[in-house]
């Protein structure tokens, strides 16, 4: 089972957007993803509830409510048939919590916005992952996503210069697009929208998917399946 953790203690960095779009992508590829929501706001859970019955299923786990009647292990269990577990982490994660959150993660995605505050928060997050969670740089488990980017701006250039100093790969650069808001409102992911609407955004995800699963992301049949899902799932109103 492939466990992917989306992490940044800074709120508003786009963790839920990335987590839900990953879940919908894997579901559109006939995989069996689980979306595990540790954020008390419950945004990922609400997104799953909005999905229409005809869309590929995504199993959701409420990880932020503690049920005293069951063990934590039982509460966080996932179906045996699951292929991927995508973990949407909360804001204000303490460094001491990082080892537990990341222990079984094959990949850790750190989204960051182009602002001084977010750059500083990203720097601390990477430092804590390396020093507290003991993630090795050469394991290629940590990847940064530059999120809600507007190219040719000073903030974007500053962000890219900073990320290049970290020694951590920039696995995707995602533009500031209204398609993410539209998809969230309908319980969709970018890859489930019509390609003539979201084609640019879908293309921006390619490097991230290649980093997560090189063989699967480059397979021609995976691309064809994704396009087919988009044509069926996206409502006409999206155009």
Question: CB under 8 Å to 100, separation ≥6 — which residues?
Answer: none
Q: What is the pLDDT of residue 167?
A: 86
Query: What Å distances lie between residue 188 and 59, 63, 197, CA to CA?
Result: 14, 22, 13
Q: What is the pLDDT of residue 95?
A: 94
Q: What is the pLDDT of residue 218?
A: 52
Q: What is the pLDDT of residue 217?
A: 53
Domain boundaries, the chain: 2-215
- pLDDT, averaged per 10 consecutive residues of the chain (239 residues), comes to 93 94 96 95 95 96 84 81 96 93 95 90 93 94 93 84 88 95 96 95 97 69 43 40
| Distance between CA atoms of residues 100 and 74, nearest Å | 16
Nearest to 100 by CA among 140, 63, 67, 139: 63
Distance in angstroms between the alpha carbons of the first and the last residue of the chain: 36
Q: Are 73 and 66 in contact (CB under 8 A)?
A: no
CATH architecture, domain 2-215: 3-Layer(aba) Sandwich (3.40)
- Helix (H) or strand (E) holding 128, with range, is helix 116-131
**Is the pTM value of this prediction over 0.95?**
no
Query: What Å distances lie between residue 230 and 71, 183, 226, 233, CA to CA?
Result: 39, 12, 6, 5
Reading the block at residue 53, the tokens are 């019955």
């Amino acid at each position: 089972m492939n466990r992917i953790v989306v992490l940044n203690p800074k709120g508003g960095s786009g963790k839920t957007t990335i987590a839900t779009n990953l879940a919908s992508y894997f579901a559109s590829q006939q995989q069996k993803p689980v979306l595990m929501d540790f954020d008390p706001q419950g945004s990922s859970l609400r997104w799953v509830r909005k999905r229409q019955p005809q869309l590929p299923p995504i199993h959701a786990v409420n990880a932020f409510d503690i049920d005293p009647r069951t063990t934590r292990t039982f509460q966080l269990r996932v179906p045996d048939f699951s292929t991927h577990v995508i973990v949407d982490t909360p804001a204000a994660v303490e460094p001491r919590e990082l080892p537990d959150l990341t222990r079984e993660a094959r990949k850790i995605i750190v989204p960051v916005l182009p602002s001084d505050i977010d750059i500083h928060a990203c720097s601390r997050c990477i430092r804590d992952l390396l020093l507290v969670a003991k993630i090795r740089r050469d394991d290629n488990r940590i990847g940064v996503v530059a999120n809600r980017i507007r190219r040719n701006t000073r903030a974007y250039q500053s962000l890219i210069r900073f990320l290049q100093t970290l020694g951590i790969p920039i696995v995707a650069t995602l533009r500031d697009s209204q398609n993410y808001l539209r998809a969230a409102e309908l319980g969709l992911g970018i890859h489930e929208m019509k390609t003539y609407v979201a084609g640019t955004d879908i293309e921006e995800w390619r490097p991230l998917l290649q980093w997560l699963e090189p063989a699967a992301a480059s397979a021609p049949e995976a691309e064809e399946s994704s396009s087919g899902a988009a044509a069926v799932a996206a409502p006409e109103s999206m155009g």
